[in-house]
Structure 1
Amino acid sequence: MTANGRPRATVHDVAERASVSRGTVSRYLNSSGYVSDEARARITAAIAEVGYVRNNAARNLVTRRSQAIGFVVHEPHLIFSEDPNIGSIMLGTNDVVAAGGCQLVVLVVDTEADAARVADYLRGAFVDGVVLVSARSHDRITDAIESIGLPAAFVGRTDPAVKVPHVGIDNRQAAAEITRRLARSGRARIGMLASALDRDSGADRWEGFAEALGARYDERLVVPLPLYSYSAGVQGMTELLEREPDVDGVVAASDAVAAGALEVLRAHGRDVPGDVGLVGFDDSAWAQRCNPHLSTVRQPARDMGRAAARLVLDQLAGRDVASVTLPTEVVWRGSA
């Protein structure tokens, strides 16, 4: 029965309307075996006429596949809606998943209750594999993936003890490169708004910043922040100016953070880039919205999603996989 109580059209109905056997309809639906062009045309028309929809639940019981791939975002709801990179990663993942004949299922983990619910969902075999953004080591989601051997790929580097392939960039090298470029512009006191130090991306960007400055690194010029968000940039830049008002260069851990910092600098009468050089990270839509446009690190977000999805589908096909590191590029614009 359908949701409105009407009888659901079956393969029998399609076969009868098309004047072919059930076996012919089955071969057509499963793309297995020969079906003549004439029979194919009649079946196509019959499906439309009787309103037949494949019963995937029954099919899944036979194949033991859901034909669904999970896309888990382990970030607060604010970041999911605010960070353009996550959207690009998701679209890239969907490009490959859809081409592989599967459906993408998006799951957002904001709280511990979310984590427990999503972990149980993954254990329930509702998806055949999963792409996980912003993975944490030894949390409920990662533990569930490892315990059941679910085909998976993480976007972002993980703890080496976690035996799940990942797709990422060299955050440390990229942060070091843009910090050196900022230093070469003549800035003497360079600070950092260092977001998400509990995750590999945030920790690596901070380490790259410190490495690039060497003996010039001053921990008083570093403000740790919880999230890659505009509001975190506002909070961090306000604190940095109160603490060290002579700062003349700022490396923000993301473009959204840099955009928040830019508003605070303006409010305090600081010209960018005249008084303070400012750089971001991601080359997201935030970079082009700002005035002046942000100097930043371009990371290939959509390609990261595509690569992660291919890793999952390769595992489902029984192929060997290995982690992938994609290139980045410093994009120099007016903010520095």
Structure 2
Amino acid sequence: MVGGREVEGGWPARNVGRVAGPGTPRRATVHDVAAAAGVSRGTVNRVLNGGYVSADARTAIEAAIAMVGYVPNTAARNLARRRSQAIGFIALEDPALLLEDPNIGAIMIGANEVLSLADQQMVSLVIDSDRDTQRVSRYLSGGFVDGAIIVSARSHDPITRLIAQIGLPACFVGHPPDLDRGIPYVGIDNTGSARAITERLLATGRRRIGMIAAALDRDSGADRLTGFREALGPHFDPALVAEIPLYDYAYGVKGMRALLDREPGIDGVFAASDAVAAGALESLREAGRRVPEDVGIVGFDDSSWALRTQPPLSTVHQPARDVGRNAAELVLLQLRGKDPVPECIVLESPVVWRHSA
């Protein structure tokens, strides 16, 4: 007994229980922690907010927190600090593609690794309609997230315009043509990498080379077409470019069929992504064309698609997980408001040569 009270493990029992009355649960408070640790509320608050206290006081407070089952009310603390401790992850893609595209998944995982270490919650925001755009716009404007990572932004997208207008700390993955210069981006050199792999395809002796060009309404697709055109120079034939809307297997099937209809003698193909290349391989098999003997084909991304095809795809390695990590770091830098924030980070994306060409 201590002062007429039972003791468990050296602590007054009244601090162990979290009840206001029989059968009525009560949330443990800072008062409970302070009483159990034998310190002031201010000392407890300094520990909770990352301030300095003596080692003995910190040890006592941490033990008291565990004993009374105290869980900080982060909602109240964040309201006082005007912070949500959440970062929005906005992928402006067709929702079906979100589930199929391994690159978006890798970007998301990389971003979450960094945000988790910073005690930030990543919130995924899906936009599939004008109604979604309005809803997400209200959400972002309402202060429910402290920042945003935007993937696959298109030119003049209303969400990206809003983010610039409200000054939300943000980072683009890739660089839309109308990129606000106040918002940094992380990406790769899509133009240079597309040029490099097309030149490698040319070096195998192919002469009638076409492209299945996807997502030309965003920077990645447009830049890959630019690199392809630069590599071919005067041999570029616009009739040998099949345009498709998405980096999607089914569209790869359709794009390859279109190229075969236009030029039955085609002997080389640059597909704008590995998923598109996998679909193109299906069409080539249907047409009785051997890869790489009759047609050499290359992709882009070095995703899981590249190793699932037969033969394995020659492609460009896109460091998607590192892209996500760097994007999250740039958002956190803006939130800290101390260190200079780079305007952009461009990661290496080398050619990976396999058997498809």
Please provide the CA RMSD for this pair.
2.0
TM-score, length-normalised on structure 1?
0.94
Q: 1:91 touches 1:302 (CA, 8 Å); kept in 2?
A: yes
Pair 1:72-2:103 in alignment: no
Whichever residue aligns with residue 21 of structure 1, its letter is S
Structure 1 or 2, whichever has the larger Rg, is 2
Contact in 2 for aligned 1:28/1:35 (Cα 8 Å): no
Deviation, 1:124, is: 0.8
Q: How big is the shift at 1:160? A: 4.8
Contact 1:273 1:334 in 2 (8 A): yes
Whole-angstrom CA distance in 1 between matches of 2:206 and 2:25: 72
Distance 1:161 1:278 in 2: 33
Q: Is the Cα contact below 8 Å between 1:137 and 1:162 reproduced in 2? A: no
Counterpart residue number, 1:211 = 230
Gaps of 5+ in 2: 1-17, 19-23
Find 1:229's aligned residue among 248, 253, 258: 248
Q: Does 1:264 align with 2:295?
A: no
Paired positions, count: 334
Partner of 2:199: 180
Question: Which residue pairs with 2:140 in the alignment?
Answer: 122
Corresponding residue of 1:165: 184
CA drift of 1:42 comes to 3.6
Q: CA deviation at 1:161?
A: 5.3
DSSP 3-state at the match of 2:125:
strand
Determine the C-alpha separation between the residues in 2 that align with 1:136 and 1:226. 12
Residue 287, structure 1, aligned to residue 306, structure 2: yes
Q: Is the 8 A contact 1:154 1:167 kept in 2?
A: yes
User: In the alignment, is the contact (CA less than 8 A) between 1:248 and 1:276 conserved in 2?
Assistant: yes
Q: Is the 8 A contact 1:24 1:35 kept in 2?
A: no
SS in 2 for 1:227: coil
Aligned to 1:40: 58
Q: Of residues 89, 99, 110 in structure 1, which corresponds to 2:107?
A: 89
Q: Does 1:328 align with 2:346?
A: no
Q: Is contact 1:180–1:212 with CA below 8 Å preserved after alignment?
A: yes
CA distance in 1, matches of 2:267, 2:179: 40
The answer on whether the counterparts of 1:158 and 1:166 sit within 8 Å (CA) in structure 2 is: no
Residues 1:139 and 2:139 aligned together = no
- Checking the alignment, whether the CA contact within 8 Å between 1:76 and 1:111 is kept in structure 2 is no
Could you say which residue in structure 2 is the equivalent of 1:196?
215
Could you tell me which amino acid in structure 2 is paired with residue 267 of structure 1?
E
CA–CA distance in structure 2, aligned partners of residues 270 and 50 of structure 1: 71
Match of 2:123 in 1: 105
- Give the equivalent residue in structure 2 for 1:29: 48
C-alpha separation in 2, matches of 1:334 and 1:168: 27
Deviation at 1:62, TM superposition (A): 1.5
TM-score (norm 2): 0.88
Say whether the 8 Å CA contact 1:256–1:286 is kept in structure 2. yes
Match of 2:170 among 144, 152, 170: 152
The separation in 2 between residues aligned to 1:218 and 1:106, in whole angstroms, is 41
Q: Does 1:301 align with 2:301?
A: no
- Please say if residues 116 and 140 of structure 1, whose CA atoms lie closer than 8 Å, have aligned partners that are also in contact: no
